[in-house]
Amino acid sequence: MRTEIATLGEFGLIRHLTEGIKPSNKSTKYSIGDDAAVLSYPADKEILITTDLLLEGVHFDLTYVPLKHLGYKSAVVNFSDIYAMNGTPRQITVSIGLSKRFCIEDMEALYAGIRLACEEYGVDIVGGDTSSSLTGLTISITCIGEGEKGKVVYRNGAKETDLICVSGDLGAAYMGLQLLEREKAALRGKGEDVQPDFAGKEYLLERQLKPEARRDIIQKLHEAGIVPTAMMDISDGLSSELLHICTQSHVGCRVYEEHIPIDYQTAVMAEEFNMNLTTCALNGGEDYELLFTVPITDHEKIQDMEGVKLIGHITKPELGCALITRDGQEFELKAQGWNPLKDEKDANPPVE
Amino acid sequence: MRTEIATLGEFGLIRHLTEGIKPSNKSTKYSIGDDAAVLSYPADKEILITTDLLLEGVHFDLTYVPLKHLGYKSAVVNFSDIYAMNGTPRQITVSIGLSKRFCIEDMEALYAGIRLACEEYGVDIVGGDTSSSLTGLTISITCIGEGEKGKVVYRNGAKETDLICVSGDLGAAYMGLQLLEREKAALRGKGEDVQPDFAGKEYLLERQLKPEARRDIIQKLHEAGIVPTAMMDISDGLSSELLHICTQSHVGCRVYEEHIPIDYQTAVMAEEFNMNLTTCALNGGEDYELLFTVPITDHEKIQDMEGVKLIGHITKPELGCALITRDGQEFELKAQGWNPLKDEKDANPPVE
């Protein structure tokens, strides 16, 4: 079924998509329907703001990304940024630009994904903008969250001897992307009824198509009484993010190859693609795991935490940032993460 | 001069464009450079959030809109939404998607306009996102502002007998757009050295290319001790906005044609274009004036306020929304304002 968007118009479409949305957060005082949303936060909270712009053909490929998944992911990547400040996401605004190629049912699917993510994470949709575009789909989401005063965690607080930790495992989302790209190329011209076989690779696809933000880790850190000295989420690859933390904190680091958490499916796929597994884990993007540093005095607490791995430690700045390989060699860490402005024709993470 | 954006990359470009930006508001605790910006508002303030998505070819035409003006306007239209809540804009995030057609100098011009608007209005740039796009220029700005608790003005508070007021004059920005479109058509094929003659029409162009948000009116209302019962800014045309206020407030209205403020240049241009002047004032978009209602007890205070005109009054809902023409006839008000989703081929306001 395909209903043209023109039948509803801008206000009609917004009303249709946001129907039945009820704010669940106390801090949401007035949501959709006025010149601005009105929020009210208590004085002991700091307010966190993050925003992401997603453009068709650059950040997503609708030939293999279902719109509902895209909506879910668009919201979750913003939540991830708020958790990475040791905060809690509370509201989002959703702006969408869409060409005539899209119909109301498409927008319903996209919005269903956004609304599902908001339900899962307890976030309110409080506003946005909807417009036609001449080409493709544009999604711009801004997320507002809260952090306890004095407990917001920045990138610039890592100190010498701090332990470097990472949640979950790395490289799987990137492998999922490679897999989807390969199937897309293989299926081209074979007709629409050919279904690719992804058996045994579900985890990779899920990591790419439906990532989750690590609210659980923030909760565990809170329960364990640990406030990281620095933290960020891994969206452009571990190397790139580690360099951000080290640059902003004016420190160096040592990371151990053998400790970088990698899932079995990621390893199998890297071999299948004849790619260096560590490079994938270091430079593959879109993991949305948390990278953080804690004081060495938290060593015992953190080493037993499920879902967290110690991968190295912070050093004096003079020592630079290096990876220690399994055979004991030191390699300088370089940011080879995803850079959507470096070269438009090759928007995927360069992996050597 | 043309420097390719690829020479800087995403992080380099952001650093370059945001160089030297220093927050000027107390509520800005941490701006660019982390996963999220950190804001801190006192407990007696409500926080206002608004967002706008601007797409090339739909919302602006770079053949006659200079990038610096576009930047300025993109920011100001968001400030206008915050003022329309009886608030003060404090922070913005700026997300930009750009194709290879654009170079670093283009982005400098765009950002110079955004930064100028922020300086003029005392707003901090606290974050954003920059990415390549496959086609054209995309600008997504989110503005965060503050309002006094209990003094935020919504669209839904207009009461029977309230007076309807409008700031400035209407229809000029729309006439400016018509003028630019006419010159664009006339100059097509005549070579780049032909300069159109806009003498005597400067006001129309300024209203279209460099609109201002009515901070001054908000200030005057505050000084006069007036809190409007309902308010919004006029971006889609007076008719459309009045209907929003009446629908959300469950009231009707009477507006008097003879009282609608129109500038002399707007009238001259409407005649030149053979357009109905009142229709232009009612349905032309992008005025960014304030439309608000005040209790009839504020009549004396408001009638002497410079830059504000009384154009009608609020009625019982049964009476509907109508325009009273100069010859005493009643016409039902209809929203014919700019609707970017109704028909993509004709994105301009339909004027009969």
Helices of type H across chain B: 9-18, 67-83, 104-121, 172-187, 202-209, 215-223, 238-249, 264-272, 277-283, 299-303
A67 phi, psi to nearest 5 deg? -60, -35
Which one-letter amino acid corresponds to residue A199?
A
CB B165 within 8 A of CB B308: yes
Question: How close, in Å, is residue B336 to chain A by CA atoms?
Answer: 12
pLDDT at B179 over 90: yes
What is the pLDDT, as a whole number, of residue B14? 85
What is the pLDDT, as a whole number, of residue B192? 62
What is the pLDDT, as a whole number, of residue A191? 65
Shortest CB distance from A46 goes to which of B6, B39, B43?
B39
- ipTM comes to 0.90
For chain A, how many residues are written? 352
Give residue B337's pLDDT band: very low, low, confident or very high (50, 70, 90).
Answer: low
Higher pLDDT, B105 or A199: B105
For chain B, how many residues are written? 352
| Count of Cβ atoms closer than 10 Å to residue B106 Cβ | 17
Indicate left, alpha or beta for A338 from its phi (over 0: left) and psi (-120 to 50: alpha): beta
Closest CA to B324 of B308, B337, B312, B336: B312
Alpha carbon distance B102, B108 (integer Å): 10
Task: Calculate the alpha carbon distances from A71 to A93, A111, A116, A119, B196 in Å.
Answer: 13, 6, 9, 13, 46
Residue-by-residue DSSP string for A73-106: HHHHHHHHHHHTTT-EEEEEEEEEEE-TT--HHH
Alpha carbon distance B214, B288 (integer Å): 8
Please report residues of B whose CB lies closer than 8 A to that of A149: 40
Give residue B342's pLDDT band: very low, low, confident or very high (50, 70, 90).
Answer: very low
State the first-to-last Cα distance of chain B, in angstroms, to the nearest integer. Answer: 44
What is the pLDDT, as a whole number, of residue B340? 44
Shortest CB distance from A95 goes to which of B39, B140, B147?
B140
Give the whole-number percent of chain B exceeding pLDDT 70. 93
Alpha carbon distance A176, A188 (integer Å): 18
Task: Calculate the alpha carbon distances from A196 to A175, A181, A192, A204, B199 in Å.
Answer: 16, 12, 10, 14, 65
Closest CA to A5 of B344, B212, B81: B344
| Count of Cβ atoms closer than 10 Å to residue B20 Cβ | 5
Alpha carbon distance A22, A16 (integer Å): 14
Give residue B350's pLDDT band: very low, low, confident or very high (50, 70, 90).
Answer: very low
How would you class A335 by CB atoms within 10 Å of its CB: exposed for 0-12, middle for 13-18, buried for 19 or more? Answer: buried
Question: Which chain A residue has the Cα nearest residue B32?
Answer: A50
The answer to whether A56 contacts chain B (CB < 8 Å) is: yes
SS3 A254: strand
- The residue written with tokens 């309110």 in the block is A124
Alpha carbon distance B248, B289 (integer Å): 20
What would the mean pLDDT of B28-39 be, rounded to a whole number? 93
The answer to whether A18 contacts chain B (CB < 8 Å) is: no
Please report residues of A whose CB lies closer than 8 A to that of B106: none
Please report residues of A whose CB lies closer than 8 A to that of B29: 46
H or E segment to which residue A294 belongs: strand A289-294
CB pair distance less than 8 Å for B43 and A47: no
The per-residue pLDDT of chain B, averaged, comes to: 91
The answer to whether B9 contacts chain A (CB < 8 Å) is: yes
Locate A351 and state its tokens.
């992996």
Find residues 155-214 of chain B whose CB sits inside 8 Å of chain A: 155-156
pLDDT at B96 over 60: yes
Shortest CB distance from A50 goes to which of B35, B57, B82?
B35
The answer to whether B112 contacts chain A (CB < 8 Å) is: no
Give the distance from CA B40 to its chain's centroid: 27
CB pair distance less than 8 Å for B49 and A126: yes
Question: How close, in Å, is residue A229 to chain B by CA atoms?
Answer: 14
Locate B260 and state its tokens.
């609608």
Among A54, A102, A140, most B C-beta atoms within 10 A, so best to mutate, is A140
Q: Give A53's strand partners.
A: A140
CB pair distance less than 8 Å for B131 and A85: no
CB pair distance less than 8 Å for B36 and A58: no
The answer to whether A247 contacts chain B (CB < 8 Å) is: no
What would the mean pLDDT of B195-205 be, rounded to a whole number? 86
Give the whole-number percent of chain B exceeding pLDDT 90. 79
The answer to whether A153 contacts chain B (CB < 8 Å) is: no
Cβ-based contacts under 8 A for chains A and B: 240
Higher pLDDT, B20 or A195: B20
pLDDT tens-digit series, residues B246-267? 999 999 999 999 999 999 999 9
What is the pLDDT, as a whole number, of residue A332? 93
Closest CA to B76 of B24, B31, B120, B130: B120
Closest CA to B246 of B257, B230, B234: B230
Shortest CB distance from B5 goes to which of A57, A232, A341?
A341
How would you class A188 by CB atoms within 10 Å of its CB: exposed for 0-12, middle for 13-18, buried for 19 or more? Answer: exposed
The answer to whether A16 contacts chain B (CB < 8 Å) is: no
CB A282 within 8 A of CB A261: no
| Count of Cβ atoms closer than 10 Å to residue B44 Cβ | 10
Shortest CB distance from A10 goes to which of B59, B127, B340?
B340
Interacting residues of A65 by C-beta distance below 8 A, sequence separation 6+: A180, A209
Between A191-200, B233-242, B296-305, the lowest mean confidence (pLDDT) is in A191-200
What is the pLDDT, as a whole number, of residue B176? 95
Residue spans of chain A under pLDDT 70:
191-195, 337-352
Closest CA to B236 of B171, B283, B293, B202: B283
CA atoms within 13 Å, Cβ hemisphere of B232: 27
Give residue B193's pLDDT band: very low, low, confident or very high (50, 70, 90).
Answer: low
Please report residues of B whose CB lies closer than 8 A to that of A91: 49
pTM recorded for the entire structure: 0.92
Q: Give A331's strand partners.
A: A323
Please report residues of A whose CB lies closer than 8 A to that of B47: 38-41, 47, 144
Higher pLDDT, A21 or B163: B163
The answer to whether B103 contacts chain A (CB < 8 Å) is: no
The answer to whether B86 contacts chain A (CB < 8 Å) is: no
B121 phi, psi to nearest 5 deg? -105, 5
CA atoms within 13 Å, Cβ hemisphere of B48: 30
Question: How close, in Å, is residue B115 to chain A by CA atoms?
Answer: 19
Give residue B8's pLDDT band: very low, low, confident or very high (50, 70, 90).
Answer: confident
pLDDT at B346 over 50: no
CB A21 within 8 A of CB A32: yes
Give the distance from CA A299 to its chain's centroid: 27
Please report residues of A whose CB lies closer than 8 A to that of B153: none
Question: How close, in Å, is residue B199 to chain A by CA atoms?
Answer: 33
